[in-house]
Structure 1
């Protein structure tokens, strides 16, 4: 083989390697196969360019790093959303985008969550006939301006509802009880068990302690192959149903433990205050820092709510908030509503 041929072969090999290196979708589950792969790779390429490939692969503590190292449909979808947001906003304000990425890569969870949501939220307003402009860092009144036809615009305040302290307590207690249950399942060599726990009111610490003491022992009913229900356990708020799982024409793993664990509870009576505080912040910032607005300008609060939130109830709370503001009344407690937190695990060692 002549030197020229060798050089050509080396060049082709290099180009193939470059193309392969740019195939960020390779090995990932693709949730939108109807979109050309080259377009999806463009979104992921912007993400890699902004966050740095080495950083994305270097750890598991940051949510973006965790997403990058997963290959499932959901993680791919979320990475594409973030990449598309970067792709849209980078040409508009590269310095703002770089500042947001810097915040996302830091350890402060609140700043990280806020920066992520600002990127995603503002990018949603960029479309045909409409454009978005992130606000300058010197403007604390709102986060971006949506430019509409005929000189109209929307000033957008982006707020992240986040998980309330009451929800965090609920989640942490459920995690501790789930650990006790998995240990009890292994000790009794039980498999394919459903545990359904219902609270009549938001649980107190005393209620949680009762559940931790009593629930593992209740698995004896499953050992006897019976389906049992337990009500008003030691005068606590709990009702519990335990039964054997059965899926027609399917077999559970004989090696790993399969179970369903579901805990349902009403919201804490003050849960509505979490949403009200975000609306209060936006209102204060608009009025204190943004001044008066043009008649063609509308103000909007765009709120990210957690997966545990009830859309119906948040809508009701928001309506109550604005009604009370118009009436000049103080914020009154909104009614509670039952909300379930579902956890389902299969094939757990």
Structure 2
């Protein structure tokens, strides 16, 4: 069964003009360059030692204003072309030669989601029950298989203090997360004010540090932040611009979403903070549905990353590689090149 790898990281896309990655292609060659989809790579293809297998990590998004992630792709959605030194055009590699596949290497990948809850007095006094139920639904929709460390969730909270509190550190243990949420009560918060901007700044800092830590352990990772609030920043320790700059300058592997409840929120600010998505339930009874909506978006984002591998039939020279990804009626092209000298007949 085809397996998707949940991982993260957006790096610069290799130029779509194939002749910038390898030897020029004759103008009479068939057009295999499309831009309905955007394919980005975490790294250039790596050759498995002593073999002809190339391994690469790709992310697929729609080429639209919202750049929606494309999840659910299978091996059949990818077509491999190569252009060697004897080829005028990039030629499709036969299925029997390419042996293309997704590989179950989840132990090397982490996708982390941090849920950041506003527990200021306005929430704990009137909407805590709905917030607990909504967060529970979010967890149930994100973690479908407890113990799968490739996808982890953490929960933090803030009130008026200059502090981002940890309720549960990152874990794939669903029961641990659900129990922590179930035990939330109004007495947890000591400052009734709202330090929204401080929470946003600290959440991004936490994400940046987590990415650095995982990189040191040779993990490839991505990060999503979900910030819930029912109001505006009242503590006034940090400015709106500092918070917005923190979000806009964050590592490209970090996605930020917001959920704003009630009449006291500033939708413009929350939309700017939630650069990857912002939702606004009309009332607390709609809160759970919005949490579930964002859970699906975040899960789709995680599922749009793939570890793709195939075996090249080339054995010498510089080779141009073209991957065409098809999804519904849309297509996208990824191009790069590799050195085939030393490739063997082994494919594993």
- TM-score, length-scaled by structure 1: 0.22
Instruction: Report 1 or 2 for greater relative contact order, CA contacts < 8 Å, sequence distance ≥ 6.
Output: 2
Higher Cα Rg: structure 1 or 2?
Answer: 1
| Higher strand proportion | 2
- TM-score, length-scaled by structure 2: 0.22
